[in-house]
Structure 1
Amino acid sequence: MRVRSLAATLALAFGATTLAVFVLVGSFLYLALEKQIKAQDNLDIVLAARHARRLAEELETSKGIREHGDRLISIVLGNQAMSMEVFDPDGNRAVEHNIAGTFAVPNAASGAASGAATLAALPPLARVAASARITEADIGEWTGRNGAPIRGILTDARLRDGETASVLVARNMSDRWLLLDRYRDRLHLAGVAGVMLAMLLGYLLIRAVLRPLRDIAASASLVTVNRLNTRIGVARVPSELETLVASLNAMLERVDHGFQRLSRFTADLAHDMRTPLSNMRGAAEVALARPRSVDEYESLLASNLEECDRLSRMIENVLFLARAEHPQFVKHMREFDAAQELSHIAEYFEGIAEEALVRVRVSGTASLTADLELFRRAVSNLLANAIRYTPQGGEIVLDASASADAVRVTVSNEGQPIAAEHLERIFDRFYRIDPSRSSLPSSGLSRGSTGSTGLGLAIVRTIMELHGGSVHAQSDARSTRFVLRFPRAR
């Protein structure tokens, strides 16, 4: 099933919101209009009833009701919806105006009912006493003979002779119902048209607003293996998307850097693996060129075995670096005496140091929390490297020291200083300062020394990164120092 577009989803949401707003506003306007109309009609009915009672109270007798009927009726003339009936003290209808279909009451003049019965047949309205003030609360509601809604007031009026007449003022509300019905229909029509227009305009506006996202997608589609240096432009990106674009560009930067690093690593690995393979192949071809003695064949096999050991160490180190870069690489952290472990490592390399005619000395004291095997491997790589470049008769010092925030392990050796431009790059994979790529004879450095594979210092840096620490090199005419910094656990 095709997923609905973001623009369409937002347009529908915008339309639904607009519909809800129209419903709320339309309902408010409709109720407000209904209330205002009702209040105005109530005021008209109350004023007409007050005026009619006041005029009736000016009459001397009930006979004057019929004689001055036109004066009473003039109160509601001009409004086709207003009706009036005036009953004499005996309950007979004395005056009427516009009552056809308004009251469910028989016509007294037709003789269908007596006058008392005529007044009794009026809707069950509460009479307003002649001495009481007429208010909107006195208005009653009923349904006329034609089903029309009627609202009105029935009030008594005391004549000059003391008799009591009754005045009924009413209003047919059918026209108001029709007015409100038309108003409601127009609100519905306006609401539907408004929602459709809002959805259309919302869709167009949202598509225009989302154009930078399409531009970002178009720029991202230009990134290929051969164009990893392509970046997403940020010149016309809204401020809300600047963080997204910056994150994507940073990701592309990391991918580009990682790809270049992988390419260099692959090329260097192929170059370094080709060297021992070429040595083995050349030695074998020379040996097969003519018959050789047993000693010569044994020498050839020993040489090839050394090259095989070199390839094995290289493959082992490459696999270690690949595993170490995995996010789920497992470290077994424990606390140990760093100086004691340095002494053990120095003892392990004692034979190799004696062959190289160098001395190894351990100094300092510190307690360290780290992965013991990784610690041994890092120090062993640095010590093997120091033995390789320390002149005969020189001294190598392994030192451990502690501070408030970190434990530092230093491997220093005498010898030729390293140029400043090489101090940081020596930790890159397969990077060597010595163009001759001289190798230390394989002597079974099983704790991780790398001979001349060019990965020893890269492994040291990876181990320190796994511990959240760092490694750096210092070199001058006096000595070369590699400093491992292990942060203290918080």
Structure 2
Amino acid sequence: MRPWPRSLTTRLALLFALLTALLLVVAVLVQGHAVEGHLRELDDQELTGKVTLIKNLLHRAELSETLSRRLDDAFIGHDMLGVVLRNAAGRVIYAFRPDHFGELQLADDAAPDVTTIWEKGGKQYIGLQTSVEALDFWSRPTRLRALVGLDISHQVRFLEEVRKRLWIDIFLAAIVAALFAVFAAHSGLAPLRRMTATARGLSAERLGERLAERDAPTEVRDLVIAFNGMLGRLESSFRRLSDFSADLAHELRTPVSNLMTQTEVALSHTRSPDEYREVLASNLEEYERIARMVSDMLFLAQAENAYLPRLAEAVDLADEARALTDFYEALAEEKGVQIVVAGEATVTVDRLMMRRALSNLLSNGLRHSFSGSMVEIFISRQASLATLAVRNHGDTIPADQLSQIFERFHRASPERHRHGEGAGLGLAITRSIVEMHGGGIDVTSDAGVTTFTLHLPLASAAPPANA
């Protein structure tokens, strides 16, 4: 079995040609049946007219040679007509082209008043046998059988020629329809070819190209819009990937440079075991920094691609915040910052992931708080969401940096950078964790007060807000 053509243009052309041919065939069959019926009706009228003519002539004259001459005169010029008159005994008393009739038509048991069709000598005839009344030689009424036949071979040939011509026309029309379908499909699929050409020309330097949506047909406009959207997402993702690669190289350059410098200094001349231990200890700190960075990047990659296993359980945000407060108590005392927790809410999350997100926010707040200030954690419930806000008093984040603060390796300002040694991944990790749990995060910063706010779906078993 031959496979169906894969080309959409070929499929449309074949289907269009088949549909056109099918419609024409149906139209030809219907019209042919109507023409045949009309011709048959004309033949029946012709036969009935000849029978009426014979009846009129028989009604006005007796059976004699005079009647035969009158019938001959009446039938002059009717080359397609055949007439046979027979008496009750079956004897032929008049015949006009009797060669039109076959043995079945001339048989005594032929059905009366029934139109029949027959073939003889390669020709086709239609005839009618009926009973007529005449006067004999003594002017007495008598019954005769009249057999009237018409040669309809010319009609049959005409219909055959018409059918042959129509089949040729159907074939030609199907070819024309197929060509038209190829042209229509070729024109209609032009946007797809442009999409193919655009896709072939895509590269890292040409991700900004787009298809013209206004010129696209309605049937493929959604596809063009989706294709342009895909290009936009690819361009955005590639730009982020490029920025991330540059940032990662920049972040790794410092610890790698430190390691190389310290190692070169250590190898420049012979040193004591204590001095080598000091160099190795310093190198270990850089290795730990690189390890943390790699671990954080791996976590982000797995989180953004939904590869991290997640254990959902009911978590009391107030309890987690207080546990982290105890953990960071020493650091807070060292910086002269007080941590305050207020409110409560229960959410269904992965406890370890959520603890990491809260730890990042609290650590960030402590690093960037002024000495003698306060880091406040407010927990509340609004409709179906739990809200956790971490507020600290420190340097104001510039307004133009707020939309980028959750990007990888981004630091809001040099002033904030000097407050810590973070690689700029903590807030990106926090956002990924929150979004994994169906929530969101936002930030505001004004007049030295910066607030990070988490929004998480409440646990189904959480008590109502007024409980």
TM-score by length of 1: 0.85
Hey, what does 1:125 align to over in structure 2? 110
1:402 Cα offset (Å)? 0.7
Aligned pair in 2 of structure 1 residues 102, 329: CA closer, same or farther (>3 Å)?
farther
Q: What secondary structure does 1:227 align onto?
A: coil
Are 1:152 and 2:127 an aligned pair?
yes
Q: Percent identity?
A: 32
CA–CA distance in structure 2, aligned partners of residues 426 and 382 of structure 1: 12
Which of the residues 52, 55, 59 maps onto 1:53? 55
* Cα deviation digits, residues 236-285 of structure 1 (max 9, x gap): 33333332222211111111111111111011111111111222332333
Are 1:239 and 2:238 an aligned pair?
no
> Which segments of 5 or more consecutive residues in structure 1 lack a partner in the other structure?
106-118, 128-137, 441-450
* Cα deviation digits, residues 196-241 of structure 1 (max 9, x gap): 2222233233323333332332233332222222222345333333
Conservation of the 8 A alpha-carbon contact between 2:379 and 2:388:
yes
Hey, what does 1:476 align to over in structure 2? 446
CA–CA distance in structure 1, aligned partners of residues 129 and 369 of structure 2: 124
Amino acid at match of 2:227: L
Conservation of the 8 A alpha-carbon contact between 2:100 and 2:149:
no
Hey, what does 1:203 align to over in structure 2? 182
Amino acid at match of 2:83: M
Hey, what does 2:142 align to over in structure 1? 163
Are 1:304 and 2:263 an aligned pair?
no
Higher alpha-carbon deviation: 324-333 or 223-232: 324-333
CA–CA distance in structure 2, aligned partners of residues 252 and 148 of structure 1: 75
* Cα deviation digits, residues 173-203 of structure 1 (max 9, x gap): 3222212111111111111222222222332
1:31 Cα offset (Å)? 1.3
Q: What secondary structure does 1:427 align onto?
A: coil
Hey, what does 2:30 align to over in structure 1? 28
Hey, what does 1:67 align to over in structure 2? 66
Amino acid at match of 1:50: T
Higher alpha-carbon deviation: 258-267 or 278-287: 278-287
CA–CA distance in structure 1, aligned partners of residues 59 and 456 of structure 2: 110
Alignment of 1:87-106 (within 5 A): 87-104=86-103
Q: How many residues align?
A: 453
1:90 Cα offset (Å)? 3.5
Conservation of the 8 A alpha-carbon contact between 2:82 and 2:100:
no
Aligned pair in 2 of structure 1 residues 265, 183: CA closer, same or farther (>3 Å)?
same
Alignment of 1:453-464 (within 5 A): 453-464=423-434
Conservation of the 8 A alpha-carbon contact between 1:469 and 1:485:
yes
Conservation of the 8 A alpha-carbon contact between 2:348 and 2:457:
no
1:407 Cα offset (Å)? 1.0
Are 1:274 and 2:250 an aligned pair?
no
* Cα deviation digits, residues 136-173 of structure 1 (max 9, x gap): xx333253543544322222222352321221112223
Aligned pair in 2 of structure 1 residues 355, 243: CA closer, same or farther (>3 Å)?
same
Hey, what does 1:363 align to over in structure 2? 342
Q: What secondary structure does 1:380 align onto?
A: helix
**Pairwise CA RMSD:** 2.6
Hey, what does 2:464 align to over in structure 1? none
Higher alpha-carbon deviation: 402-411 or 470-479: 470-479
Hey, what does 2:199 align to over in structure 1? 220
Alignment of 1:343-354 (within 5 A): 343-354=322-333
CA–CA distance in structure 1, aligned partners of residues 194 and 141 of structure 2: 93
1:399 Cα offset (Å)? 2.0
Conservation of the 8 A alpha-carbon contact between 1:45 and 1:171:
yes
Q: What secondary structure does 2:205 align onto?
A: helix
Higher alpha-carbon deviation: 209-218 or 10-19: 209-218
* Cα deviation digits, residues 91-116 of structure 1 (max 9, x gap): 321111122142328xxxxxxxxxxx
Alignment of 1:399-438 (within 5 A): 399-435=378-414, 437-438=417-418
Hey, what does 2:46 align to over in structure 1? 44
Amino acid at match of 2:110: L
CA–CA distance in structure 2, aligned partners of residues 101 and 269 of structure 1: 106
CA–CA distance in structure 2, aligned partners of residues 172 and 2 of structure 1: 51
Aligned pair in 2 of structure 1 residues 317, 433: CA closer, same or farther (>3 Å)?
same
Hey, what does 1:379 align to over in structure 2? 358
Higher alpha-carbon deviation: 41-50 or 149-158: 149-158
CA–CA distance in structure 1, aligned partners of residues 4 and 268 of structure 2: 71
Hey, what does 2:463 align to over in structure 1? none
> Which segments of 5 or more consecutive residues in structure 2 lack a partner in the other structure?
461-467
CA–CA distance in structure 1, aligned partners of residues 209 and 297 of structure 2: 30
Aligned pair in 2 of structure 1 residues 329, 482: CA closer, same or farther (>3 Å)?
same
Aligned pair in 2 of structure 1 residues 480, 126: CA closer, same or farther (>3 Å)?
same
Higher alpha-carbon deviation: 140-149 or 371-380: 140-149
Hey, what does 2:455 align to over in structure 1? 485
Are 1:13 and 2:12 an aligned pair?
no
Aligned pair in 2 of structure 1 residues 254, 124: CA closer, same or farther (>3 Å)?
farther
1:348 Cα offset (Å)? 2.4
Conservation of the 8 A alpha-carbon contact between 1:104 and 1:144:
no
Aligned pair in 2 of structure 1 residues 370, 360: CA closer, same or farther (>3 Å)?
same
Conservation of the 8 A alpha-carbon contact between 1:83 and 1:97:
yes
Q: What secondary structure does 2:19 align onto?
A: helix
Conservation of the 8 A alpha-carbon contact between 1:148 and 1:172:
yes
Which of the residues 175, 191, 200 maps onto 2:154? 175
Hey, what does 1:141 align to over in structure 2? 116
CA–CA distance in structure 1, aligned partners of residues 108 and 151 of structure 2: 14
CA–CA distance in structure 1, aligned partners of residues 125 and 308 of structure 2: 87
1:12 Cα offset (Å)? 1.8
CA–CA distance in structure 2, aligned partners of residues 231 and 470 of structure 1: 31
Hey, what does 1:186 align to over in structure 2? 165
Higher alpha-carbon deviation: 188-197 or 31-40: 188-197
Hey, what does 2:316 align to over in structure 1? 337
Aligned pair in 2 of structure 1 residues 34, 330: CA closer, same or farther (>3 Å)?
farther
Conservation of the 8 A alpha-carbon contact between 1:342 and 1:362:
yes
Hey, what does 1:256 align to over in structure 2? 235
Amino acid at match of 1:126: A
